Chain A
Amino acid sequence: MATIINQRLAHLRSLVVDDMATMRQNIRTQLGQLGIPHVDQASTPDEAISYIRKNAYDVIICDYNLNRETNGQQMLEFLRAQHILPASTMFIMVTAESSYDLVASAAEFQPDAYMVKPLTGGKLLERIERLLDKQNALRQIVGRLNLKDIAGAVDECDRAMQVQPKWAVDIIKIKANALLELGKPEEARAVYESALKLRDDLVWARYGVARCHFAAGQLDEAKAVAQQVLEVNAQYVVAYDLLAKVAEAQGNEQEALEALNRSYEVIPSARRSRMVGDVAYRTGDLAQARTAFDRAVKHTKGSLTAQPSDLLSLAQVHVDAGDAQAALQVLSTAPKHYGESDAFVATQAAVQAQAHIRMGDLESAQHAFERAKSLADATRADGTALALAKAAFSIGREEEGAAILSKAVRADHENTRLVSLARKVLKDSGKEELAAEVVDRALDQVNAIVAEASALMRKAQFDESLQKLEEALEGMPENTGVLLAAAQLHLLWMSQKGLNLDYVARVNNYLAKLDVLLPGNERVAKMYRFMRETLSRAKKE
């Protein structure tokens, strides 16, 4: 046993993140004595992030106290939110005993383990061994998840539950999540309730029940359970997010904003500030949006965790609030490397155009607008399109603005945020009367294409149906609704007529796009499952 562990340790790549050189050296020595030869060291979060982008680590040992701007928990939040950290990496957070429960209870993104200082070789070894043991126990489940075989992962969970009772809690968490992803909230709820039978005060399981209610469309129940969770643990920050989602779904944006503000009080991170800013902007609360984006910008200034969109959002808020000078000033602080992104420069120019108009400088505004237009990717439905449309309206090019907006809505018609922001652009530009023509008609058009294709399919006019969707995708290659319909109808075709390798390639292409556009979406997961079933049936025949 000992030699097996030693062999495993000898192959582990590790990274130690600590601002104090003596501590890093100490941990490095301890790891070396355990037989882990490969140890990289980072002294700042930025250094750690660039190391992690370049190398696949098995173990990361990170001190909670890093520097004034970013602590270990915020770094982990960034790594997880940006999907930089591989699922197989063991992330160990080291805290002082005085702060450990405070750190741990408010953590939204959990590390694989918390360890309390001082670290000793023996404790590190024990913890790494246990995490390796867990990885081993959950290997089959994680393997299925990596293949996006969510239903298969659920089966593996049931099997593992029998032979690995030691890891029951981890298995329960994965299984419930997987069932939610498969769009089976009732079954997921039963799994969370089985955890509550083990112990009735498990906050994560109670919160899981709330999520299941939300997924099942039971908004009032979701809200009630999330509130219960917060009564017991006011630090449980994701419960605020759920309350915000419920409030938004019920059309109560003010309440959503309040919930997000409370979550920011618990974790004052750039990411949370950005969430507050987004909702504040949509509800038209410019003062609050400005504070929130300003905080996000300041918090990440000069760091790798900085997001260009914060700067653009802040500038747009300034323009909307009538402070064009401030908007231009904010945009002028953009770091040089942001200029390498066309999307950034296009949006920047679109906001500049609006600012110039406010300052009475039509010529500069037109110039900026042309630049924005030349760089904007016309097929994408995103912040650039919205800013561009706004700029067009502001310089009096009404038709152009309407066309850009209509195209954006058609490109991603199921994105409710985008649609509501598109309506807001019209309202802010004093063109509310165009909403029916621009937004509603665009929505109708896309829905009509999907409906028509489905109808053709039902009438067994398979080839016409697929052609219809392929044509639609030429004009809106990132429309998630059309992509899903296209995947589904191609699979239906194959389940009727047998395998077609071109179609398999197409479906793979649609799903790869959907993975990027809708990460972790249950409908996409369902489509993956449908594809596997179709292919395995086709192979048997």
Chain B
Amino acid sequence: MDTKLSAAVVHDIKNALGVLEGMLGALVQEPTREQAATAQEMCSSLRERLIGFLTLYKASSQGLVARVDATNPEDFLNTVVRDNPPARPELDIIVNTQSMPVLGFFDENLVGLAIGAALQNAGRFARSAIELGCVMAESGELVFTVRDDGPGLGAQEDKRSTGLGTALCEAIAQAHQKGERHGSVSLQDHPQGGALFTLRLP
């Protein structure tokens, strides 16, 4: 596992813990329901990041194996949306069911982590909406997409991301194998604006 990435992630988690500590300190002084809820959300997000980190660690140390099972993509995407509420409540998250197959074969736990990470990322740039989709390509690949309506790839960030999400998605795509083919990920500008994350699984 890339040591630079590890250091960046640990650093990031350390900072987040600092913020959480401050929040809890304020709560000790004067408990409010609102702040307790924010602290709880922060814990969930930290936990998700640690799971991502450990999954990536596992991928580099013992290899990641996808356990492919038949799953209904719509149920699955709705679950991912429910598990990853947007940091900004004004964002509208839509699951587009157009041309969505009834069944897809993939590892629900792993792909859930990947789509969750992509959703978090899209949440940082989206203006008002994020759209998730899943179609069966002619090649037989199952294609998941996460599209935001933000400024696209050239966007300047206030705070740089650690690169954990990207590395995690790549490892998860790689873990999905069928015969000689592996999965792949890409992040592009969408022709109609915004950024488009694509996860292709064989």
Of the candidate stretches A74-82, A98-106, A469-477, the one touching chain B is A98-106
Judge whether A118 is part of the interface by a CB distance below 8 angstroms.
yes
Q: How large is the interface on B (under 10, 10 to 19, 20 to 34, 35 or more residues)?
A: 20 to 34
**With a CB–CB cut-off of 8 A, which chain B residues contact A98?**
54, 58
Q: Beyond A97-B55, A165-B103, A199-B105, is A122–B82 a contact (Cβ under 8 Å)?
A: yes
A169 adjacent to B82 (CB under 8 Å) = no
CB of A216 within 8 A of chain B? no
Q: Are A169 and B103 in contact (CB under 8 A)?
A: yes
Q: With A123-B83, A168-B70 as given contacts, are A101 and B102 in contact (CB-CB < 8 Å)?
A: no
With the chains together, A224 CA to B135 CA distance in Å? Answer: 36
Q: A-facing mask of B90-125, CB < 8 A → 1, else 0?
A: 000000000000110100010000000000000000
Contact, CB under 8 Å: A201 / B67: no
What is the chain A residue whose CB lies nearest that of B178? A201
> Inside 8 A of A104's CB, which chain B residues have their CB?
67
| Chain A, Cβ-Cβ closest to B57 | A98
What is the CA–CA distance of A122 and B41 in the complex, to the nearest angstrom?
A: 13
Q: Beta-carbon contacts of B26-68 to A below 8 Å, as 1s and 0s?
A: 0000000000000000001001000100110010000011111
Is A126 in contact with chain B by the CB < 8 A criterion? yes
Specify the chain A residue showing the minimal Cβ separation from B102. Answer: A165
Is B75 an interface residue, CB under 8 A from the partner? yes
A166 and B82 form a contact (CB under 8 A)? no
What does the 1/0 interface line of B155-179 toward A look like (CB < 8 Å)? 0000000000000000000000011
Query: Chain B contacts of A168 at CB under 8 A?
Result: 70, 102-103
Nearest CB of A to B76, in Å: 10
B79 on the A face (CB < 8 A): yes
Whether B72 sits at the interface, judged by CB under 8 Å, is yes
- Quick check: A198 and B51 within 8 Å, CB to CB? no
Partner of A169, one of B70, B83, B178, B179: B70
> Which residues of chain B are near A527, meaning CB under 8 Å?
none
Question: CA A169 – CA B72 in complex, angstroms?
Answer: 11
The reply to whether B179 and A97 form a contact with Cβ atoms under 8 Å apart is no
In angstroms, Cα B69 to Cα A130, docked, is: 15
Say which residue of A105, A122, A198 sits within 8 Å of B67 (CB atoms).
A105
Whether the pair A198, B103 counts as a contact (CB closer than 8 A) is yes
**In the complex with contacts A116-B109, A118-B47, A169-B70, A97-B58 CB distance below 8 A:** yes
* CB-based contact B51/A97 at 8 Å: yes
| Bound Cα distance A118, B83 (Å) | 13
Instruction: Report if A166-B47 is in contact (Cβ < 8 Å); known contacts: A101-B67, A122-B82.
Output: no
Are B65 and A105 neighbours in the complex by a CB distance under 8 Å? Answer: yes
With an 8 Å Cβ cutoff, the count of chain A residues facing the other chain is 20
Among residues of B, the one whose C-beta sits closest to the C-beta of A102 is B65
**Closest Cβ neighbor of A127 among chain B residues:** B79
Within 8 A of A (CB), among B134-167: none
Cβ-defined contact, A166 with B72, below 8 A: yes
Q: Which residues of B contact A118 (CB under 8 A)?
A: 47, 51
Q: Can you name the residue of chain B whose Cβ is closest to the Cβ of A133? A: B75
Contact with A along B172-190 (1 / 0, CB 8 A): 0000001100000000000
B103 touches A122 (CB 8 A): no
Known: A98-B54, A105-B65, A169-B70. A126 touches B109 (CB 8 A): no
Chain B contacts for A122, CB-based, 8 A: 82-83
Given the contacts A116-B109, A122-B83, A169-B70, A130 and B54 also touching, CB distance less than 8 Å: no
Mask for A127-140, Cβ within 8 A of B = 1, else 0?
00010000000000
Question: How far is A169 from B105 in the complex, measured between Cα atoms in Å?
Answer: 11
Which residues of B are found within 8 Å of A169, using beta-carbon distances? 70, 103
From 125 to 181 in chain A, residues with beta carbon under 8 angstroms from any chain B beta carbon are: 126, 130, 165-166, 168-169
Are the C-beta atoms of B102 and A166 separated by less than 8 Å?
A: yes
Docked-complex contact A97 and B54, CB < 8 angstroms: yes
**Chain A residues with CB under 8 A of B79:** 126
Please pick, from A100, A101, A130, the residue contacting B75 in the complex, using a CB distance under 8 A. A130
How far is the CB of B141 from the nearest CB of chain A, in Å? 12
Residue of B nearest to A123 (CB): B83
Q: How far is the CB of A457 from chain B (nearest CB, A)?
A: 48
Which chain A positions have C-beta within 8 A of B47? 118
Q: Which residue of B lies closest to A98 (CB)?
A: B58
In the bound complex, CA of A122 to CA of B84 (Å): 11
Shortest beta-carbon distance from B110 to chain A in Å: 9
Nearest-Cβ distance from residue B67 to partner chain A, whole angstroms: 5
- The docked-state distance in angstroms from the alpha carbon of A123 to that of B76 is 12
User: Considering only CB atoms, which chain A residue lies closest to B66 in the complex?
Assistant: A101
In A392-446, the 8 Å CB interface with B consists of none
In whole angstroms, what is the CA distance A90 to B109 when docked? 19
Give B157 Cβ to nearest chain A Cβ, in Å.
29
CA distance A123 to B55 in the complex (A): 18
The CA of A101 and the CA of B72, in the complex, are separated in Å by: 21
**Inter-chain contact A100/B109, CB cutoff 8 Å:** yes
Closest 3 CB pairs of A and B: A169-B70, A165-B102, A166-B72
Supplied contacts A97-B54, A104-B67, 4 more A-B pairs, CB within 8 Å: A116-B109, A120-B44, A165-B103, A201-B178
Listed in ascending order, the chain B residues whose CB lies under 8 Å from chain A are 44, 47, 51, 54-55, 58, 64-68, 70, 72, 75, 79, 82-83, 102-103, 105, 109, 178-179
Give 24 pairs: A residue, B residue, CB < 8 Å, sorted on A: A97-B55, A97-B58, A97-B109, A98-B54, A100-B67, A100-B109, A101-B65, A101-B67, A105-B65, A118-B47, A118-B51, A120-B44, A126-B79, A165-B103, A166-B75, A166-B102, A166-B103, A168-B102, A168-B103, A169-B70, A198-B103, A198-B105, A199-B68, A201-B179
